[in-house]
């Protein structure tokens, strides 16, 4: 089978699998967040934390729930790492340094999973299992519940209530993330992913050398790593490591997992707002960007510009031979478009323009399809901006899903689209202006700029993948990137929940022939235009000095 | 009455004053640009500029490059500096031109507001006859008048302030306000009692009760409106400003953080280049034209003789979901004509016609007169004069009784009126209307006519004599108009006092979506509330005092200038022409205003692509030659490329001023069709046009010496 055929086959299989899961999972998602019935175990949890599950909250109360939960998560995770040496299953690793522990705690609580550490040489099994993996569930659930609150803002009318955070969070974990993770952890074990609590295994290789092979509870963490668009690998090599991702089949399963919730959420959205076409329209925008990105990266990676590339049939540097170009690019495009940030190849070694696309993918704001929940709320904010401009062009006060886009909504949407670029640009600008931080760059010239740009783009957008080639385990980078991750996660959530409250308080406006339809191809292409003109172009100067300067000859 | 007709001047068509009011749809006179330049320069005051965040950034940038150009003078720095200042001036010019047109109008109005004196009647109370003996009179300046004062105005006098006629009837020349030279009748009581300060009484004498404080009169408000002094930003304008400010901040960050990246890349940029990049990227086109678009929108209404009390109302007009239209005068020509007498069983045609004529003698409505005319034409019945009927007392039509008629001596009463009202009257008189009468009434109604039932009461027993069929003529082209409205997503509801059947027939003929028959003011009010509860915006017109609550409740309430002050006070717009059909035009102007903003925003944002392709390679191609591939326009040199982008950016503002003032073309159609059209023109146009424009400017600019 030729490489191209393999590529088509894998992409085709992936799309089919997503299509099959789309309806049942989307409908199930909508059901989870609309049903009045509580499970018995959920009752137990509500009683334990002292929550009345049938009392809805105002957006500000909901937000306080999100922030309190996340703050506790950060503190807990920080303490866990700092006290590692006194805990069981530490494998003898010492406490994680303060700056790195802060960075890691912020990283996992924000669904970023940026790793300035190397998993197998820093974290013991207990921290991995009870600390990091727990956050993989919690942070993914937070993203989902925030978008659910936003959807409720659209469908509710003249109310202050947007739902109950604790109920939504519990259900997202118990009814969605846990069951799917358990099933796929078993599937991955069947596929060859390791799972044990053994210590490192010293072996003598055939050549007579000594090697230490670290095991661990990998598969159980791998499933939620992808499913929750987290991306923090058990091993430093992440999904390029044969114990995390042994073969093309597990590779495809992992790509499927990291896409499936974000994709199916569009169905849940359409179902909840009572017009499935609205969900399809958003999905169409995501799909176009995803396909373009996969095609773009594939094109640049299979280019044979150098002798080595020509011999290998593409830019194989930094890629696993067991995956080859197609499985690597499929993974790369999906992971950078979903805020997952798991990698199965070294992004630093991508061709300049291929690497530029991965940065661009993240710059779009993780919307195609984006992180669990965060992808959907990101694209809905852009839809609001699009509706505003398009709505004016049809001569009415703009409306989206029967809600008017008034100054307050516009203010929150503008703050949202302003936040991430501000973090990326200021972060990159400051880092590159500081002589000491410049020194962390391993490659001079435009590639070095790309490395810093990648780091800040990845953290501000809560992606978490790394271009590498940048020594980020310094106090400055650990601190700066940690702060960027926290702001990049929670400021947008503040705007989104405020928007949910503002929309919920509005009265429904009935649709008429004068209302702009937001499910037609015309609107879909305009939304794409806004994504490119309003979001992507902001970064054009930075891209020009990094990937474009390197890639254009 | 006769005196008024005698003194009424010939209708001389449009007077010069009227012509001033009716300048065509807002075309730009190049002279205006020149005339408004001083105003534009005055607006460079940073305090004024601060209101517009986008242009304020440009102005700060211009100040910075000026300092830079003075410190290290180069041709490039000076050219950029000059064009940046021009960008700011052009933006101010757009606003100044828009305001300038209002100012001219305000000047005309002020002339009518010259110092007038008033003849105040301090002791006069309603009901008293005005004679020099009974009432003392004092002459005071018009500005000294307070609400509740009574003033006397005689033929030739100028009415000193807004008020209601409380005594007398007069013909009034209102051309100062409406531009219409034909005088109008103003009389005490009823819905024609409001007079406006600054208008002139042509005949007779009236007593006016002042209803507005000096300085807050209709003319004062009108002056403030057309001058834009009371202009407040509308919700959509605020929302758009927020978006533009957000984009400006993003681009500001992009440019500021570019410098450290450029230094790292060994391509440090000069301040002039960075400012040029920033100005090119921020949405200056829409930022510069935004306020001019708003002012011009109001102005377009003024040119159609509609005064909007707030910009918010104009915007709301674009959002309207439901139009409440009075049938008479809006949907139909309004003069229903009697076309046929349909006698009841056992009544001769002559009997019916005679009774109908009797009952209509005192009925001065067009309908009433048409009955007399029909009786004469069909049956040769001579119209009796009022004096002929000794001892007869006429019963005038009222909205409550919905009947008119005459009581003759000897207990003989004749009534004609709405079927249900007359039927009640018959029953009250001990009679029982025949079933056959009902079927005749329904037949007339079903055919779109208005049935008037004629009945008499002789010696205490009442009986129906028959039915008069009135036909209402639906205006030509109104059906197509409603179809357009439907395509725009606007529902039309016809309001009529007619009964269900008549209303249904006319509604079907005119093609309205719904109707409200036998409507009382309370019904109207209930309808509006119902629509609004469903989230719909309602627009309506009205003139009577009993319309006032509904006008106030409606999202867009257009009061007729002929209406009462209560109505005018309650509505948020006044139509000086008192033409209820204009409501449709108002909706279109509201939509056009929003579309213009949206289209130019799209255009402005789409422009950025070409500017990036001009400026980015110019900045960095020297260190990274590969980036010259992005110079798709093959611009002459880095300096000429940046200069061309900035010149294009400035010139596009001036080029689009006429469009901002006129508004983009609007054809009523569905939202999808509108979006498609505007996206093609302003989206694609905004993408492509700057590539061509910048290239053309570059072809010229490269010859500037010193600009390599």
Instruction: Using an 8 Å CB-CB cutoff, list chain A residues near B489.
Output: 512-515
Q: If pLDDT is split at 50, 70 and 90, which confidence band does B542 have?
A: confident
> What local confidence, expressed as pLDDT, does residue B186 receive?
84
Average pLDDT, chain B: 84
pLDDT for res B12: 35
Highest mean pLDDT among A86-90, A131-135, B340-344, B549-553: A131-135
Q: What angle do CA B571, B574, B575 make, to 5 degrees?
A: 135
User: What average pLDDT is seen over chain A?
Assistant: 93
| Residue-level pLDDT at B368 | 80
A-chain CB neighbours of B486 within 8 Å are: 513
- Among A405, A429, A526, the residue with its CB nearest the CB of B239 is A405
Sort out which chain A residues have CB atoms less than 8 A from B623's CB and list them: 549
CA-based nearest residue in chain B for residue A392? B598
Mean per-residue pLDDT, B220-239: 79
**Interface contacts (A, B; CB < 8 Å):** 215
In this complex, do A541 and B236 lie within 8 Å of one another by their Cβ atoms? no
What's the pLDDT score for residue B699? Answer: 95
Q: What is the pLDDT of residue A95?
A: 93
Q: Give the contacts of B530 (CB within 8 A, at least 6 positions apart).
A: none
pLDDT, average across residues B390-403: 77
Query: Residue B561: CB partners within 8 Å, gap ≥ 6?
Result: B174, B177, B178, B196, B568, B574, B575, B576, B577, B578
Give which of A388, A392, A457 to mutate to test B binding, by max B Cβ within 10 Å: A392
The DSSP annotation for B590-602 comes to HHHHHHHHHHHHH
The token pair that represents B658 in the structure block: 């006429």
Give percent of chain B above pLDDT 90. Answer: 32
Residue showing tokens 């790509």: A255
Q: What is the pLDDT of residue B6?
A: 32
A305 contacts in chain B (CB < 8 Å) = none
Better-predicted residue by pLDDT, B390 or A527: A527
Strand order, beta sheet including B403-408: B337-343, B461-471, B449-458, B412-418, B403-408, B393-395
B53, B266, B489: best mutation site toward chain A, by most A Cβ within 10 Å?
B489
Which chain B residues are Cβ-neighbours of A513 within 8 angstroms?
A: 486-489, 670-671
With CA atoms as reference, report the closest residue to B457 among B514, B396, B395: B395
**Residue from A384, A387, A393 to probe the interface with B (highest B Cβ count within 10 Å):** A393
Pick the residue with more confidence: A545 or B216?
Answer: A545
Q: How many domains does chain A have?
A: 1
> How confident is the model at residue A76, as a pLDDT?
96
Taking the CA of residue B622 and the nearest CA in chain A, the distance in Å comes to 11
Which pLDDT band, with edges at 50, 70 and 90, does B24 fall under? very low
Contact B249 A418 (CB under 8 A): yes
Q: How far is B126 from chain A (nearest CA, A)?
A: 48
Contact A492, A419 (CB under 8 A): yes
The pLDDT value given to residue B128? 66
Q: CB distance A542–B261 less than 8 Å? A: yes
| Residues whose CB falls within 8 Å of the CB of residue B471, separated by 6 or more in sequence, listed in order | B336, B337, B339, B448, B449, B450
Whether residue B402 is predicted with pLDDT greater than 50 in this model: the reply is yes
* Number of residues written out for chain B: 708
- Position B62 scores a pLDDT of 97
SS3 B463: strand
* Cβ <8 Å between B235 and A551: no
Residue B8 pLDDT = 31
Task: For residue A57, list its beta bridge partners.
Answer: A163
Residue of B nearest to A396 (CA): B319
Tokens of B655: 């080029």
Task: Please give the pLDDT value at position B63.
Answer: 97
d(CA B113, CA B591): 34
- Best B535, B593, B642 residue to mutate vs chain A (most A CBs within 10 Å): B535
DSSP string covering B604-653: HHHHHHHHHHHHHHHHHTTT-GGGGGG-TT--S-HHHHHHHHHHHHHHHH
Confidence of residue B204 (pLDDT cuts 50, 70, 90): confident
Residue, of B38 and B566, whose pLDDT is higher: B38
Rounded to the nearest angstrom, the minimum Cα separation between A291 and chain B is 23
Distance (Å) of CA B324 to CA A207, B448, B537, B610: 92, 20, 11, 47
Per-residue pLDDT band at B230 (split at 50, 70, 90): low
More confident site: B285 or B128:
B285
Q: For residue B293, which residues of chain A lie inside 8 Å, CB to CB?
A: none
Look at residue B68 in the predicted model and tell me its pLDDT: 95
More confident residue, A484 or B314: A484
Taking contacts as CB-CB distances below 8 angstroms, the residues of chain B near A449 are 261, 264-265
Alpha helix locations (H) across B172-310? 175-178, 218-227, 235-256, 258-264, 271-281, 284-303
| Lowest model confidence (mean pLDDT) among A350-359, B85-94, B448-457, B505-514 | B448-457
Per-residue confidence at B441, pLDDT binned at 50, 70, 90? confident
Q: Which residue from A422, A426, A545 is facing B620, i.e. has the nearest CB?
A: A545
Question: Is there a contact between B261 and A395 if contact means CB atoms under 8 Å apart?
Answer: no
Q: What pLDDT does residue A40 have?
A: 95
- Pairing state between β B538-542 and B322-326: parallel
Residue A79: the pLDDT is 96
Domain extent at residue A372 = 3-551
For range B527-539, the mean pLDDT: 90
* Cβ(B92)–Cβ(B43) below 8 Å: yes
Residue B388 CB contacts under 8 Å (≥ 6 apart), including other chains: none
Q: What gap in Å lies between CA B542 and CA B574, rounded to an integer?
A: 10
pLDDT at B108 over 80: no
Per-residue pLDDT tens over the stretch A123-144 = 999 999 999 999 999 999 999 9
B625: closest CA of chain A, how far (Å): 7
The residue of chain B nearest to residue A522, with distances taken between CA atoms, is B676
- Is the per-residue pLDDT at B11 higher than 50? no
Which residue in B236, B258, B675 is closest to A516 by CB distance? B675
* Residue A413 pLDDT class (50, 70, 90 cuts): very high
Chain B partners of A392 at a C-beta cutoff of 8 Å?
236, 240, 594-595, 597-599, 601
Mutate to test the interface with A, among B290, B624, B685 (most CBs of A within 10 A): B624
Contact A541 B264 (CB under 8 A): no
**Cβ contact, residue pair B489, A512, below 8 Å:** yes
Cα B257 to its chain centre, rounded Å, is 48
Residue A436 burial by CB count (10 A; 0-12/13-18/19+): exposed, middle or buried? exposed
Residue A287's pLDDT is 97
Which residue did the predictor score with more confidence, A294 or B374? A294
pLDDT reported for residue B200: 86
What pLDDT band is residue B395 in, cutting at 50, 70 and 90? confident
Give the DSSP letter string of A121-145: HH--HHIIIIIIHHHHHHHHHHHHH
Residue A547's contacts (CB-CB under 8 Å, 6 or more residues apart) are A352, A353, A355, A356, A359, A446, A450
Reported ipTM exceeds the 0.85 cut: yes
Who's near B27: CB < 8 A, 6+ residues apart?
A: B658, B661, B662
The pLDDT, as a whole number, for residue B335 is 67
State the Cα–Cα distance between residues A68 and B73, nearest whole angstrom.
Answer: 57
Contact B260 A429 (CB under 8 A): yes
Residue spans of alpha helices (H) in B342-418: 349-360, 366-379
Query: Which residue has better confidence, B309 or A275?
Result: A275
Q: Is B217 exposed, middle or buried (0-12, 13-18, 19+ CB in 10 A)?
A: buried
Are the beta carbons of A394 and B599 separated by less than 8 Å? no
Q: Please state the pTM of the whole predicted model.
A: 0.86
The answer to whether the Cβ–Cβ distance between A397 and B259 falls below 8 Å is: no
Q: Which residue of A has its CA nearest to B237?
A: A407
pLDDT at A493 over 50: yes
Residues of B tagged active-site: 326
Cα B316 off chain centre by:
11
Residues A513, B486: C-beta atoms closer than 8 Å? yes
A435 to chain B: closest CA residue: B264
CB contact under 8 A, A545 and B265: yes
What pLDDT shows up at residue B130? 57
Q: How many residues does chain A have?
A: 553
Say yes or no to pLDDT of B23 above 60: no
Contact yes or no for B254 and A393 at CB 8 A:
no
Contacts of B608 in chain A (CB under 8 A): 533, 537
| pLDDT score of B21 more than 60 | no
**Hey, are the CB atoms on B594 and A396 less than 8 Å from each other?**
yes
Name which of B261, B277, B605 is nearest A545 (Cβ-Cβ): B261
Taking 70 as the threshold, does the pLDDT of residue A384 lie above it? yes
Give the tens place of pLDDT for each residue, B582-601.
888 899 999 999 999 999 99
CA distance B626 to B618: 12
Let me know: does A119 contact A211? Beta carbons within 8 Å: no
* C-alpha span between B58 and B46 (Å, rounded): 11
Q: Reduced to 3 states, what is the DSSP secondary structure of residue B50?
A: coil
Residue whose tokens read 């930022």: B287
| A404 to chain B, closest Cα gap in Å | 10
- The predicted structure's pLDDT at residue B471: 79
pLDDT over threshold 60, residue B372: yes
- Distance, CA of A250 to CA of B147 (rounded, Å): 86
Asked whether the beta carbons of residue A394 and residue B674 sit closer than 8 angstroms, the reply is yes
**Stretch among A237-251, A363-377, B387-401, B676-690 having the lowest mean pLDDT:** B387-401
Residue B362 makes CB contacts below 8 A (sequence gap 6+) with B368, B386, B394, B395, B396, B404, B406
The CA distance from A106 to B603, in Å, is: 41
- Percent of chain B at pLDDT > 70 equals 92
| CB contacts, 8 Å: A430 with chain B | 260
Q: How confident is the model at residue A530 (pLDDT cuts 50, 70, 90)?
A: very high
- Non-local (6+) Cβ contacts of B636 within 8 A are B698, B699, B701, B702
Chain A residues in contact with B249 (beta carbon < 8 A): 418, 422
Residue B7 pLDDT:
32
Sign (positive or negative) of CA dihedral A428, A431, A434, A439: negative
Lowest-pLDDT range, A77-86, A190-199, A444-453, B224-233? B224-233
> How confident is the model over B61-100, as pLDDT tens digits?
999 999 999 999 999 999 999 999 999 999 999 999 888 8
Alpha helix positions (H), B429-520: 435-446, 478-487, 500-510
């Amino acid at each position: 089978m030729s490489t191209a055929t393999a590529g088509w086959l894998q992409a085709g299989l992936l799309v089919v699998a997503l299509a099959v899961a789309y309806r049942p999972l989307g409908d199930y998602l909508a059901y989870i967040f609309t049903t009045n019935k509580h499970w018995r175990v959920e009752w137990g949890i509500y009683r334990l934390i002292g929550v009345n599950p049938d009392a809805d909250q105002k957006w500000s109360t909901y937000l306080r729930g999100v922030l309190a939960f996340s703050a506790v998560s950060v503190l807990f995770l920080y303490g866990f790492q700092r006290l590692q040496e006194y805990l069981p299953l530490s494998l003898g690793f010492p406490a994680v340094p303060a700056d790195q522990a802060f960075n890691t705690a912020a990283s996992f609580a924000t669904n970023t999973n940026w790793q300035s550490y190397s998993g197998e040489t820093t974290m013991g099994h207990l921290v991995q299992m009870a600390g990091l993996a727990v956050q993989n569930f919690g942070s993914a659930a937070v993203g989902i519940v925030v978008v659910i609150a936003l959807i409720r803002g659209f469908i509710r009318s003249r109310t202050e209530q947007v739902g109950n955070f604790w109920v939504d969070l519990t259900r997202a974990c118990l009814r969605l993330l846990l069951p799917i993770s358990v099933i796929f952890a078993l599937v991955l074990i069947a596929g060859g992913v390791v799972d044990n609590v053994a210590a490192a295994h010293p072996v003598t290789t055939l050549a007579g050398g000594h090697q230490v092979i670290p095991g661990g509870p990998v598969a159980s963490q791998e499933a939620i790593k992808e499913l929750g668009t987290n991306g923090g690998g058990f091993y430093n090599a992440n999904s390029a490591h044969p114990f995390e991702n042994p073969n093309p089949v597990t590779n495809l399963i992992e790509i499927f997992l990291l896409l499936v919730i974000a994709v199916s959420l569009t169905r849940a959205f359409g179902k909840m707002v009572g017009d499935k076409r609205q969900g399809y329209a958003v999905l169409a925008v995501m799909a176009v960007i995803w396909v373009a990105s996969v095609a773009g990266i594939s094109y640049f990676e299979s280019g044979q510009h150098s002798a080595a590339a020509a011999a290998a049939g593409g830019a194989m540097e930094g890629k696993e031979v067991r995956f080859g170009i197609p499985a690597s690019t499929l993974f790369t495009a999906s992971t950078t478009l979903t805020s997952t940030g798991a990698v199965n190849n070294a992004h630093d070694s991508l061709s300049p323009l291929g690497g530029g696309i991965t940065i661009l993918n993240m710059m779009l704001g993780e919307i195609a399809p984006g992180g669990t929940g965060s992808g959907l709320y990101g694209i809905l904010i852009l839809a609001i901006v699009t509706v505003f401009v398009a709505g004016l062009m049809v001569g009415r006060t703009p409306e989206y899903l029967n809600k008017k886009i008034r100054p307050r909504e516009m203010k929150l949407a503008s703050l949202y689209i302003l936040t991430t670029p501000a973090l990326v640009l200021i972060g990159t600008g400051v880092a590159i202006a500081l002589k000491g931080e410049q020194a962390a760059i391993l490659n001079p010239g435009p590639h070095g700029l790309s490395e810093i740009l990648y780091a800040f783009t990845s953290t501000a957008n809560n992606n978490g993948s790394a271009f590498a080639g940048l020594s980020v385990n310094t106090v400055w980078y650990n601190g700066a990137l940690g702060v960027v991750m926290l702001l990049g996660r929670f400021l947008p959530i503040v705007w989104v929940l405020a928007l949910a409250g503002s929309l919920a308080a509005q009265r429904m406006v009935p649709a008429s022939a004068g209302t702009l339809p937001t499910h037609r191809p015309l609107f879909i292409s305009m939304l794409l235009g806004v994504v490119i003109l309003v979001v992507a172009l902001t970064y054009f100067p930075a891209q020009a000095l990094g990937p474009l300067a390197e890639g254009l000859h | 009455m006769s005196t008024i007709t005698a003194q009424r001047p010939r209708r001389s068509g449009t007077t010069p004053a009227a012509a001033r009011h009716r300048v065509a749809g807002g075309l730009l006179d190049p002279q205006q640009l020149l005339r408004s330049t001083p105003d534009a320069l005055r607006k460079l005051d940073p305090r004024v500029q601060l209101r517009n965040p986008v242009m304020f950034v440009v102005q700060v940038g211009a100040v910075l490059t000026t300092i830079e150009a003075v410190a290290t003078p180069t041709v490039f720095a000076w050219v950029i500096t000059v064009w940046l200042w021009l960008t700011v001036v052009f933006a101010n010019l757009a606003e100044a031109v828009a305001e300038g047109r209002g100012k001219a109008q305000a000047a005309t109005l002020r002339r009518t507001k010259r110092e007038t004196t008033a003849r105040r009647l301090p002791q006069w109370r309603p009901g008293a006859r005005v004679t020099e003996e009974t009432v003392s009179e004092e002459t005071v300046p018009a500005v000294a008048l307070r609400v509740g004062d009574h003033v006397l105005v005689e033929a030739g006098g100028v009415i000193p302030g807004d008020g209601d006629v409380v005594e007398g009837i007069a013909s009034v020349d209102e051309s100062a306000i409406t531009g219409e030279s034909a005088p109008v009748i103003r009389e005490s009581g009823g819905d024609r009692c409001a007079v406006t300060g600054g208008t002139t009484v042509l005949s007779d004498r009236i007593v006016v009760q002042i209803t507005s404080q000096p300085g807050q009169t209709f003319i004062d408000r009108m002056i403030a409106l057309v001058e834009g002094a009371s202009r407040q930003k509308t919700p959509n304008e605020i929302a758009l400003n927020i978006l533009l400010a957000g984009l400006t901040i993003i681009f500001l960050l992009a440019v500021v953080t570019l410098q450290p990246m450029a230094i790292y890349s060994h391509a440090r940029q000069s301040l002039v280049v960075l400012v040029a990049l920033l100005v090119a990227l921020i949405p200056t086109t829409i930022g510069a034209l935004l306020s001019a678009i708003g002012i011009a929108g109001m102005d377009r209404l003024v040119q159609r003789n509609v005064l909007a009390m707030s910009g918010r109302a104009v915007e709301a007009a674009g959002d309207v979901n439901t139009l409440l239209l009075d049938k008479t005068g809006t949907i139909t020509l309004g003069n229903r004509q009697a076309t046929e007498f349909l006698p009841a069983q056992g009544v001769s045609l002559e009997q019916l016609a005679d009774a109908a004529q009797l009952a209509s003698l005192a009925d001065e409505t067009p309908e009433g007169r048409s009955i007399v005319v029909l009786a004469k034409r069909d049956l040769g019945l001579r119209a009796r004069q009022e004096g002929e009927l000794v001892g007869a007392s006429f019963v005038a039509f009222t909205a409550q009784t919905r009947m008119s008629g005459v009581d003759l001596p000897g207990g003989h009463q004749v009534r004609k009126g709405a079927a249900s009202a007359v039927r009640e009257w018959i029953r009250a008189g001990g009679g029982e209307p025949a079933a056959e009468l009902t079927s005749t009434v329904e037949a007339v109604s079903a055919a779109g006519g208005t049935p008037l039932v004629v009945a008499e009461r002789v010696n205490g027993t009442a009986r129906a004599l028959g039915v008069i069929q009135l036909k209402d003529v639906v205006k030509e082209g109104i059906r197509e108009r409603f179809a357009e409205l439907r395509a725009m997503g606007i529902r039309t509801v016809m309001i009529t006092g007619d009964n269900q059947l008549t209303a249904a027939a006319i509604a079907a003929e005119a093609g309205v979506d719904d109707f409200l028959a036998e409507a009382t003011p309370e019904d109207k009010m209930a309808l509006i509330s119902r629509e609004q509860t469903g989230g719909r915006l309602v627009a309506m017109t009205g003139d009577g005092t009993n319309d006032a609550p509904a006008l106030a409740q409606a999202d867009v309430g257009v009061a007729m200038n002929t209406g009462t002050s209560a109505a005018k006070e309650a509505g948020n717009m006044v139509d000086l022409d008192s033409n209820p059909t204009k409501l449709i035009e108002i909706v279109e102007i509201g939509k056009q205003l929003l579309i213009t903003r949206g289209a130019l925003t799209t255009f402005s944002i789409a422009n950025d692509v070409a500017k990036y392709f001009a400026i980015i390679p110019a900045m960095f191609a020297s260190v990274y030659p590969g980036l010259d591939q992005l110079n798709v326009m093959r611009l002459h040199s880095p300096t000429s490329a940046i200069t061309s982008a900035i010149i294009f950016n400035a010139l596009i503002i001036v080029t689009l001023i006429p469009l901002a003032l006129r508004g983009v073309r609007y054809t009523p159609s569905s939202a999808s069709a509108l979006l498609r059209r505007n996206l093609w023109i302003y989206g694609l146009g905004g993408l492509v046009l700057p590539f061509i424009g910048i290239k053309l400017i570059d072809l010229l600019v490269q010859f500037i010496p010193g600009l390599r």
